[in-house]
Amino acid sequence: MIIFKEVSKVYYNHGSVLSLDNINLEISRGEFVSVVGQSGAGKSTLLKLIIVEERPTSGEIFFDKLMLSKVSDYYLPNLRRNIGVVFQDFRMMPNKTIYENVAFTLEVLGRTNEEIDRDVLVSLDIMGIKDKSGFYPRQLSGGEQQRAALARAIVHHPAILIADELTGNLDLLNTWEIIKLLTKINEMGTTIILATHNREIVNSLNKRVVTLDKGRIAQDQATNGKYII
Amino acid sequence: MFFINLKRILKAGAINFWRNGTVNIATTSIMTVTLLSISILLVLNFLGQKAVENFKDKIDISVYFNPDVSEESIFKVRDELAAMPEVKSFNYLSKDEAWERFKAKHSSNPVISQGIAELDTNPLYATLNIKAKNIDDYPKISDFLSRGKYAEIINKINFEQNKQGIEKLSSIVNAIQKGGLWISLIFAIISVFVIFNAIRLTMYGYRQEVEIMRLVGAGNWYIRAPFIVEGALYGVIGSIISIVILALFVYFGSDIINRFLIGDTITSYFRQNALFIFGVELLLGVAIGVLSSLFAIRKYLKA
């Protein structure tokens, strides 16, 4: 589904910084992949390349048959409509209610109000925050906001869900609740790529683990992977 | 899908507009001032044109013939003038007619009447009043009379005094038009800057939202459109306020303004042209607002 072929990324900002170095990686449909590594290992850059927030300096990235490294700016919105994204800082739109935040993803797709109403409520129900739909993000706890962000990311049934340190701001209880939800989403067929520092989460998942170190893949444990750094 | 998106974009634009508070008031105010200055320029242009037209309508050439010139000679001049394509009409007043009119006009004045009685000859000249089809034709007619074969029988031509009056009035009208145009242009530029900054400020506040919108797959136009609607709304609201102010100005100032107009009134002019003025304001206001928005949001819409 996603293939990295000899991908390198260099940031040219006050000198050059090599963030990813000759990455070869293949992720299949329906996989749950944890990407681990210390700060600066290149986890976020890897995710940014998949959602084309950044372009590789060299190498090629494929999403199915689409070459991401060459995709035009015009086509980008279409690509991103197939991807769900969640971040550590939730990134909810502060001036919109939880319902409106989740609904926006479907509005972009041109869905009717009836379809939006139905799908948003289902999505919020799955995340256990249906009763918070009329609240603004600031009125919700961190855990609830992250559930809302997850609801927004999956409401349109994306092929792939990218989660960047999504439990970083959550307490232990909420962390495990969110991981349970991620597992549930994965079981429904969505490919998940999770970038995290959390050793316990990775070790308990028993899924594939890709370990990055200084921009290179240090280890790729296909099944029952463990956090080994 | 198009109409669903359009409805959502218009709604989002209206929400952006109302959420902007004081920035919104400042931006709408400067837009109103810009559009008002342009409307006033249109009205001043009308007033100037009317004043010139009225003045031009009163212009003619009066040719005074020497006392010893026979009517036969004067009629020759008149017939030649009648053949000129530039001449619209003429009116001949003989010495005797002029004298009778003068006496009738001053019959109630004993001093003048006594003076007239003491005179044993008619001191007035036979006169030919000529109206040209076009104001620019007067110099040609004047030249024909003063430099041609009839120069010797003509005592005086009074065109030069009128000519100076027309030129002075025209130059005043031109100055008002040019000055008004510059003032409007300056206001328009200020307006573009203010709206540009207002939208940029809004965009700065929304930059995180814009980033999120992009990440969930919103296209640039879907993100951009509500801000364009917001810019256009500044133009729409500004033009409505501006036309209302102009209507009040016309209503309360009509007594004073109408003194300078003959026949027409500022009120009737405004009634006939209010829709046109509003259309011009609306078009310019929306254009300024939309252009400012487009410039302001460009920075935030990298892919």
Is there a single domain that holds both residue B276 and residue B291? yes
Q: φ and ψ at A147, to 5 degrees?
A: -65, -40
Q: What range does the domain containing B244 cover?
A: 2-55+166-300
B208 contacts A93? CB cut-off 8 A: yes
Angle between helices A98-108 and A113-126 (to 10 degrees): 130
Q: Which of B298, B278, B267 is nearest to B235 (CA)?
A: B278
User: Looking at chain A, which runs of residues are DSSP E strands?
Assistant: 2-12, 16-27, 32-36, 58-63, 66-67, 83-87, 160-164, 191-196, 208-213, 216-221
A91 contacts B303? CB cut-off 8 A: no
One DSSP character per residue, B248-260 reads HHHHHHHHHHHTT
Residue B135 has pLDDT above 80, yes or no: no
Tell me, yes or no, if B5 comes closer than 8 A to chain A by beta carbon.
Answer: yes
For residue A126, count other CB atoms closer than 10 A to its CB: 18
Nearest neighbour of B215 by CB, restricted to A78, A85, A109: A85
Is there a single domain that holds both residue B183 and residue B255? yes
Residues of A in contact with B212 (CB under 8 A): 91-93
Residue of B nearest to A52 (CA): B303
Q: What range does the domain containing A175 cover?
A: 2-221
**A61-66, long-range: CB within 8 Å, 24+ apart, which pairs?**
A61/A2, A61/A3, A61/A4, A61/A5, A61/A7, A62/A2, A62/A3, A62/A5, A63/A1, A63/A2, A63/A160, A64/A1
Residues of A in contact with B215 (CB under 8 A): 51, 53, 80, 85, 91
DSSP, collapsed to helix, strand or coil, labels residue A63 as strand
Q: How many domains does chain B have?
A: 2
Domain end position, chosen among B159, B179, B213:
B159
The predicted-structure confidence for A176-222, as pLDDT tens digits, reads as follows 888 998 999 999 899 999 999 888 888 888 899 999 999 999 999 87
Q: Rounded mean pLDDT of chain B?
A: 82
Reported confidence tier of residue B261, pLDDT bands at 50, 70, 90: low
Residues of B in contact with A109 (CB under 8 A): 217
Flag whether A184 is in a domain: yes
Tell me, yes or no, if A114 comes closer than 8 A to chain B by beta carbon.
Answer: no
Is there a single domain that holds both residue B211 and residue B125? no
Domain end position, chosen among B159, B193, B224:
B159
User: Looking at chain B, which runs of residues are DSSP E strands?
Assistant: 61-65, 87-93, 127-132, 154-157
Domain end position, chosen among B159, B183, B201:
B159
Eight-state DSSP code of residue A168? T
- Name the token pair of B123: 């001191």
Is there a single domain that holds both residue B286 and residue B250? yes
Tell me, yes or no, if B6 comes closer than 8 A to chain A by beta carbon.
Answer: no
| Kind of pairing between the strands at B127-132 and B61-65 | antiparallel
Are A90 and A144 spatial neighbours (Cβ–Cβ below 8 Å)? no
Residues of B in contact with A75 (CB under 8 A): none
Residue A139 has pLDDT above 60, yes or no: yes
**Residue-level pLDDT at B303:** 47
B217 contacts A93? CB cut-off 8 A: no
| Residue A164 to residue A48: CA distance in whole angstroms | 10
For residue B237, count other CB atoms closer than 10 A to its CB: 18
Q: Rounded mean pLDDT of chain A?
A: 90
Are A179 and A200 spatial neighbours (Cβ–Cβ below 8 Å)? no
Residues of B in contact with A53 (CB under 8 A): 215
B212 contacts A80? CB cut-off 8 A: no
**A211: domain CATH number?**
3.40.50.300
Is there a single domain that holds both residue B69 and residue B45? no
**B71: domain CATH number?**
3.30.70.3040
Residue of B nearest to A91 (CA): B212
Reported confidence tier of residue B167, pLDDT bands at 50, 70, 90: confident
Tell me, yes or no, if A78 comes closer than 8 A to chain B by beta carbon.
Answer: yes
CA atoms within 13 A on the CB side of B129: 7
Is there a single domain that holds both residue B245 and residue B192? yes
Tell me, yes or no, if A110 comes closer than 8 A to chain B by beta carbon.
Answer: yes
**Residue-level pLDDT at B73:** 87
A105 contacts B214? CB cut-off 8 A: no
Nearest neighbour of A112 by CB, restricted to B4, B209, B222: B4
Are A34 and A207 spatial neighbours (Cβ–Cβ below 8 Å)? yes
Residues of A in contact with B206 (CB under 8 A): 95
Q: Which of A109, A172, A113, A118 is nearest to A143 (CA)?
A: A172
Flag whether A229 is in a domain: no
The predicted-structure confidence for A65-119, as pLDDT tens digits, reads as follows 899 888 888 888 889 999 999 988 888 988 889 999 999 999 988 899 999 999 9
Q: Give the minimum alpha-carbon distance from B201 to chain A in angstroms, rounded to a whole number.
A: 16
Is there a single domain that holds both residue B14 and residue B149? no
B219 contacts A77? CB cut-off 8 A: yes
Is there a single domain that holds both residue B38 and residue B174? yes
Check: complex ipTM more than 0.85: no
The larger pLDDT score, comparing residue A190 to residue B227, is at A190
**Residue-level pLDDT at B283:** 94
Tell me, yes or no, if A91 comes closer than 8 A to chain B by beta carbon.
Answer: yes
Q: C-alpha distances in angstroms, A102 versus A27, A158, B10, B120?
A: 27, 14, 20, 108
Q: How many domains does chain A have?
A: 1
Nearest neighbour of A51 by CB, restricted to B1, B8, B215: B215
Residue A229 has pLDDT above 70, yes or no: no
Q: Give the minimum alpha-carbon distance from B240 to chain A in angstroms, rounded to a whole number.
A: 29
Strand order in the sheet with B87-93: B87-93, B127-132, B61-65, B154-157
A77 contacts B218? CB cut-off 8 A: yes
Instruction: Please report the number of interchain residue pairs, chain A to chain B, with beta-carbon separation below 8 angstroms.
Output: 57
Residue of A nearest to B219 (CA): A77
A95 contacts B216? CB cut-off 8 A: no
Residue A148 has pLDDT above 90, yes or no: yes
Q: Which of B185, B177, B184 is nearest to B48 (CA)?
A: B177
Eight-state DSSP code of residue A42? S
Question: Mean per-residue pLDDT for B198-215?
Answer: 79
- Name the token pair of B291: 């252009």
Residue B206 has pLDDT above 80, yes or no: no
